[in-house]
Structure 1
Amino acid sequence: MARRDLSGAVDFAVLGRMTGDDDAINEEVLGLFVQQAGMWAPMLDVREDGWRDGVHTIRGAAAGIGAVDLANACAVAEAAEKADAPPLLNRVQDALDTALADVAAFRHELMLRSLRGGA
């Protein structure tokens, strides 16, 4: 997996502007995003009391790394009535999965770059 595997679900230029394109900081931020996704994704179910909190947290994390489609899907789900939320939460999960795949590809590229000495 490498940069060529990116789907476009994450605009890493957004992350770069926030971090000054520092690879170490990019890796740290993306690692935190993956950790947060792992913690909050199980709450993407209306049977969970904190489903709206989970969506809200993922929304903020997504916006911070440039995952605009994910952030937008979260905004729609967060604003929905509970009865209308299940298919919207499915869209959030799909967008999260796609963003996580892009993050994995980008992190792989960062790792390769660090092995090459930043080249």
Structure 2
Amino acid sequence: MAPRIRPFDFAHLDRQTMGDRALEEEVLTLFIHQAGSIAEQIRQAHRRERLRLAHSLKGAARGVGAFAIADCLAELEQRPDDASLVERLQRLVDQAAEFVASVTR
């Protein structure tokens, strides 16, 4: 079994939230909600809309330290018709959501 990798850079998130743990939890929860919604929209969107959505979520992902998601979205901006990237994005968002759920219980 591969080691479980944290989907967020918590050092980055700590700097963004100035160490406020309650704010970190709120930011992560909001991000997961946004990422889940946008990932679903990306799956169904046409090329132009997919590019816009990918760009928008990429910035949010970088802001919270979800760099694997941001990197996937950057690739999707380069290859918006690549279905494997859309699938990878969904897996990464699902993993991030599971992680957030496990640390906010």
Structure 1 residues 76, 67: closer, same or farther in 2, change over 3 A?
A: same
Q: Identify the match of residue 37 of structure 1 among 24, 30, 35.
A: 35
Give distance in 1, aligned partners of 2:80 and 2:27. 32
Identity of paired residues, percent? 35
Residue 53 of structure 1 and its aligned partner are, at CA, apart by: 2.3
CA RMSD across the alignment: 1.8
Determine helix, strand or coil for the equivalent of 1:98.
helix
List per-residue Cα deviations over 1:41-68 (Å, max 9, x = no partner).
Answer: 21122x4132222222221221111111
Aligned residue pairs, count: 100
The answer to which of 27-36 and 14-23 deviates more is 27-36
Give distance in 2, aligned partners of 1:81 and 1:27. 31
TM-score when normalising by structure 2: 0.80
Residue 106 of structure 1 and its aligned partner are, at CA, apart by: 2.7
List per-residue Cα deviations over 1:1-58 (Å, max 9, x = no partner).
Answer: xxxxx6322112211111111022112211210221232121122x413222222222
Give distance in 2, aligned partners of 1:52 and 1:81. 7
Give distance in 1, aligned partners of 2:101 and 2:59. 19
Partner of 1:48: 45
Structure 1 residues 88, 95: closer, same or farther in 2, change over 3 A?
A: same
Gaps of 5+ in 2: none
Show the 5 A alignment for 1:1-119: 7-45=5-43, 47-49=44-46, 50-82=49-81, 85-108=82-105
Cα contact 2:54–2:76 (8 A) shared by 1: yes
Larger Rg: 1
Give distance in 1, aligned partners of 2:89 and 2:39. 9
Residue 81 of structure 1 and its aligned partner are, at CA, apart by: 4.5
Q: Structure 1 stretches (4+) deviating beyond 3 angstroms? A: none
TM-score when normalising by structure 1: 0.72
